[in-house]
Amino acid sequence: MRALSSIEIRRCRPLLGTFVEITARGRDEKLLARGIEAGFDAIARVNRLMSFHDPLSDVSRMNRKAFPKGVSVHPWTWQVMRAAKRFAEESHGAFDIAVAPLLTKWNYLPDRCYRFSPTSTSRDIFLRHHHEVFFAAT
């Protein structure tokens, strides 16, 4: 009896401001294609939730409203914020998610007229219960 050979499927799409490539290997082409589509769907969801460019994203809502009241965000966004704060702490500030003011100033991000404080850091971001994010300063 001959063993089924493995196949590889590779797909690429523009997402997250770059090209995202997903490769899947296995024996069932339809199953691999469904897995790749599920992967692209998840990445597109992250893009919708966390895009600086999308005015409806959690990131844009946080930049507009997390100071002075706080904003409820999707659990995925909250988890990314928690990881980013941990990275900032562990890197002694070398990695800091509060870099948007500089990126906007240098024209790497569009000017959305958010009220950023040039001295804000990830220490000014507070993660509350129920996936709420609060900025102590803007």
How confident is the model at residue 105, as a pLDDT? 86
What's the confidence (pLDDT) of residue 101? 82
111-126 residues labelled b (16+ CB within 10 A) or e (exposed): eeebebeeebebebbe
Domain ranges of the chain: 7-50, 68-135
Contacts of 54 (CB under 8 A, 6+ apart): 47, 48, 60
Residue 6, judged by CB atoms within 10 A of its CB (0-12, 13-18, 19+), counts as exposed
Segment 44-93, tens digit of pLDDT: 999 999 998 899 999 999 999 999 889 999 999 999 999 999 999 999 98
Residues linked to residue 135 through DSSP beta bridges, in sequence order: 125
73, 131 contact by CB (below 8 A): yes
Taking alpha carbons only, the member of 19, 31, 18 closest to residue 9 is 31
Entry pTM: 0.81
CATH topology for the 68-135 domain: T-fold (1.10.3980)
Tokens standing for residue 22:
């997903």
* Per-residue pLDDT tens over the stretch 9-40: 999 999 988 999 999 999 999 999 999 999 99
pLDDT value at residue 3:
56
- The predicted structure's pLDDT at residue 83: 97
pLDDT of residue 68: 86
Digit-coded pLDDT (tens) for 116-129 = 777 788 999 999 99
